[in-house]
Amino acid sequence: MAFRRRPIRRTRHGYRVELSDDERAVLVRMVDELAGLLRAGEAPQRLFPTAYPNDPERDEEYQRLMRDELLSSRLAAIEVMHTMLAGGDPDEHDPGDPAADMTFTETQLVSFMQSLNALRLVLGEMLDVGEDPDHEVAEGLQDSPEHHLYQYLSWLLEWCVRALSR
């Protein structure tokens, strides 16, 4: 999937994020669903990775001590993303008006990036995407809406990294 535009760029005022109203609406819906899963304790394990894979006892202690902090951190990042994407009146938003685009601070962009990555992890688990970059998506899911969303989120995440790296 090739995207031609540059959705995130560094400016002297911060990080400009240029998304259509439809893109913003999909991302808001997705992070709201993710927040609901997190609050209900139903988030995939991939969002709470094993710290000590060879020592279950140490890992259990780590999870006991850190899970609430990681959960709070994820929810805070989601709140920043939700606020930034849902801000303003969509009926007054003119997609051709550059002033209507969002400008994030570095801290906000990092939160945005963390939330994008959390969404990718959830979709990756649904698609059975492994850690190996050459890993193929499960048979029959390559053209699924979930896979297209996964690719889109990966693309946005790449632009976040590029903007922060400049």
Residue 159 vs residues 48, 56, 58, 77, 141: alpha-carbon distances, Å: 25, 37, 36, 18, 25
CB 28 within 8 Å of CB 86: yes
How much is the pTM? 0.81
pLDDT of residue 88: 45
Q: For residue 16, is pLDDT > 90?
A: yes
Identify the band that residue 159 occupies on the pLDDT scale cut at 50, 70 and 90.
Answer: very high
User: What are phi and psi for residue 63, nearest 5 degrees?
Assistant: -60, -40
Q: Which residues contact 142 (CB under 8 A, 6 or more apart)?
A: none
Q: For residue 139, is pLDDT > 60?
A: no
Express each pLDDT in 48-76 by its tens digit.
989 999 999 999 999 999 999 999 999 99
Identify the band that residue 101 occupies on the pLDDT scale cut at 50, 70 and 90.
Answer: low
Identify the band that residue 147 occupies on the pLDDT scale cut at 50, 70 and 90.
Answer: confident
Q: Residues 86-100: what's their mean pLDDT? A: 49
pLDDT of residue 77: 96
As a whole number of angstroms, the longest Cα–Cα distance in the chain is 56
CA dihedral 118, 100, 16, 154 (to 10 degrees): 30
